[in-house]
A and B are shown apart, each in its own frame.
Chain A
Amino acid sequence: MKNTIHGRTGLILSDFDVQVSRFASSKPFRSTGTVETSSPWQRPLRGQDYAHGMFAASARADELSTNRVLLGNQILFNSYDQDLLYLDDRSPADYPGFMEFYDNKLGAMGRAMRPTLESFAFSFLDRDIDVSGSWTSTDAVAYMEETLASFETSEPPLVAALSGAQDPRAAYRTLIVQQASDFLSEASAMARALPGNYGPAQSALMRVLIDEFGYGVHRVKHSTLFEDTMRQADLDPMPHRYFLYYLPTSLMLANFFHYVCGNKYLWFRYLGALLYTEGTIPHFNRHVSRGLKNAFGTQAKALTEYFDEHVHIDRHHRNMVLKNLVEPSFERYGDKAISEVLRGFESFRMLQALADADLVAQVAFGERLAQSVGRAGATAIAGEPVPFVETYNELSLPHIHDQDELLTVEDGELNFFASQDGHTTLCAGDSIIIPHGRLHGSQVRSQSCRYNVRRLQRKEVES
């Protein structure tokens, strides 16, 4: 790898560092001054947060809700998405934006960074999951079926948390926003696994894909059904309008499928992950559907049709994946396939559990924003204040702190937010504690705003 000396700092930068900086500062990834994007080709990144060697050490399972994991997964997500075509009826005027997002050189830059970013984002799964002992195909199938059956014995904890939130409607809207990272381009990662010639399994996967794409009928294509859900929930179905609200763990769920579908050596892991997701969705979605109806006080079919459709079709998909993809792979490829399928199954189970916990914590943070605002000085020990002065409308793109921090507004007014519904206004003298690991951003609402941020002792705050 070649190194470059950075002119301003004198740091020796690797090719990778240079690529990240160039990629993140290119036009489609610059801030447009709004937290909700106005075209599918705007994906603002906080390129200024990138530090030399930031992705050199791979992420750990216990630090997924951090800024470096957020930024790494945002870059990876945008790079994968440059392989997917997004067109939006309302944005034809932004043809230059379309051309810039799909620029050949920019796409190549993203693709060149992928191996490093994928290793950064997902190699913890290799460390944290290990399959040992002498597994037969019968053992592996029985193990996965038992795991899926045990998932169905109780209400999913995420659904219980959303339904039990102070404002279940806002909580479910947050779920939908997070799911939009994947469901608005549903099964696009799966489509990456199809090309080639790999026997009957290829046709079996095609049959699953046909369902995902509504058999060519646009109205029942799964992403179309999800757009209907978003409209019913008063959310905008434009692809990735809420990109800046995506949590790092939500991005990881979407990225993981691109990672295992795009890298052919991970084919068997993909099958395991696919079985886990197809196997758990019917139970999960049945509960989500019920929760949505209660939260929104309506039986409107369009609100829950996406989820109801999956309650039905994914029972078939679970069986199709098991009988037509997984079991024939065990038969043909033996021990190696068994070990890899189990690894993929457990990898996605772990990612899903981590994402669910992250979302529950984010919903709780958003709900207590208003109560978290106090007068300056009301909280205990803090470090030296770091001052900021920003002008009207200046947007601090959503990001995450690795330590608890206390933000105090000295002059002016700031809109502080944690999600599409979790907003609060901070005026002069107001303080708010920002727990480590929680996504947040702000936008100045006065002519100018002076505020400071101080680090807190971790023990003081529950995230």
Chain B
Amino acid sequence: MIKTVDLNAPRAVLIGDETYFVVRSSNRVYAARSHCPHRGGPLHLGDLSDGAIQCPWHGTKVPVHYLCQTAVPAIRIRSSFLIFQREGTT
């Protein structure tokens, strides 16, 4: 399933049962799962500081580079961001 997100609009998007959010790093854009590896907290609501996003639930700091490495398939086309969700992943 392909979901198109406007990069000028809200940074989180629900695809199926999964929430994704937009992470920017080194002038690139990634689609990261909003799921804290600690207890599944909503990372898209966390604050960004020192290259990490702090989960609002328990304060776990998740490095941006980790989120980029584990990002889901996506393609940015100008200001549109196409996130691809594999079948059976929700």
Contact = CB atoms under 8 A, between A and B. Distances in A.
23 contacts: A61-B78, A128-B77, A129-B76, A130-B76, A131-B74, A132-B29, A132-B31, A132-B68, A132-B76, A133-B31, A133-B73, A134-B69, A134-B71, A134-B72, A134-B73, A135-B73, A135-B84, A142-B84, A143-B75, A143-B84, A146-B2, A147-B2, A150-B2
A139 interface: yes
B9 interface: no
Contacts of A140: 73
How big is chain B's contact interface, by range?
A: 20 to 34
Contacts of A136: 73
Contacts of B73: 132-136, 139-140, 143
Across the A-B interface, the 8 shortest Cβ-Cβ residue pairs: A133-B71, A133-B73, A135-B73, A130-B76, A132-B30, A128-B78, A133-B74, A139-B73
A325 B22 CA distance: 33
Given A130-B29, A132-B30, A346 B77 contact: yes
Interface string B75-88: 11110000010110
Contact of A346 (B28, B29, B75): B75
Contact of A132 (B2, B74, B87): B74
Nearest to A135: B73
> Chain B's interface: helix, strand, loop or mixed, by majority?
strand
A134 B85 CA distance: 11
A133 B9 CA distance: 20
A311 interface: no
B1 A146 contact: yes
A342 interface: yes
Nearest to A143: B84
B84 A139 contact: yes
Contacts of A346: 75, 77
Nearest to B27: A130
A209 interface: no
Contacts of A128: 76-78
A66 to B, nearest CB: 18
Most interface-central of A130, A134, A139, A147 (chain B CB within 10 A): A130
A65 B28 CA distance: 28
A131 B78 contact: no
A128 B28 CA distance: 11
Contacts of B31: 132-133
Contacts of B68: 132
Contacts of A13: none
Max count, chain B CB within 10 A of own CB: residue among A61, A129, A133: A133
Contacts of A131: 74-75
